[in-house]
Amino acid sequence: MLNPLRSEQEAFRFLLYVIVVAAVVLGVVFAVRAIT
Amino acid sequence: MEAATHAEHHHGPPTANVSSRVEAQFLGMLLFIISEVMLFGAFFTAYFFIRVVADSGWFPIEGVDLPKAIAGVNTAILVSSSFTMHWALEGARNENRNALKVGLLTTALLGLTFLTIQVNEYVHIGFAPHDNAQGTIFYGLTGLHGAHVFVGLTLLTFATVRAFRGHFTAKEHRGVEVPGIYWHFVDVMWIVVYSSVYLL
């Protein structure tokens, strides 16, 4: 299991996950706003 | 005689009791970051509350819009600094001292650039914290994050100076790793702040 507080490598990987999740969430929100 | 022999083998204070499987330095940073998440949580609660109840809505208000593009460039700068931080630590792990030194120095300079751009944004943004609730929470959230960048920069400065003095090896580089975890945490928080305050 990913524990971002255990090592820098895992914290960096967690950051990459957050960037991807944020991009997906923003994409969905903007797409819904554009449609409605 | 026995006491003298005993004294020869025990110099200095007794060894600290270790009651956790996690090293003390990592445990300290872990507890600190957990408390930080709660602090940011309180500010985000205020932000979402204001956003929901404000009659005038979120920005733009009275012709003032948030500089999304400049903040976007600033976001790219901060994210880049996490990559250079990771590169520096890989350098420490692989005994590549040049990568360690250049990586740490670049991370610190990128962090400093981020703060400079944020201060410049405050100067030109066109509203003050006391103008309205939106302004208060905007400065509160971004300022809280900026303070964390400043703390991260302080830690990075110590690590950079130590790296240039020849500290850190492939086996012993906690002085880079712990600030690295903190720096990535600051970056994660900025992604959330930028997404929710500027873009959504």
Kindly provide the ipTM of the predicted complex, given to two decimals.
0.91
pLDDT at position B28 is 82
Average pLDDT of B129-151?
A: 95
Nearest CA in chain A to B84: A12
Q: Which fold has domain B26-199?
A: Four Helix Bundle (Hemerythrin (Met), subunit A) (1.20.120)
* Angle, CA B33 vertex, CA B29 and CA B38 arms, to 5°: 155
Average pLDDT of B164-172?
A: 92
Classify each residue of B100-124 as buried b or exposed e, where b means 16 or more C-beta atoms within 10 Å of its C-beta: bbbbbbbbbbbbbbbbebbeeebee
pTM of the model: 0.87
Which residues of A fall within a CB distance of 8 Å from B197?
A: none
Going by C-alpha positions, the residue among B186, B195, B182 that lies closest to residue B40 is: B186
Which residues of A fall within a CB distance of 8 Å from B23?
A: none
pLDDT at position A1 is 61
Indicate the residue of B33, B180, B199 with minimum beta-carbon distance to A8.
Answer: B180
Sign, CA dihedral B54-B60-B63-B68, equals: positive
- pLDDT > 70? residue B2: no
Where do the domains of chain B lie? 26-199
Contact A26 B191 (CB under 8 A): no
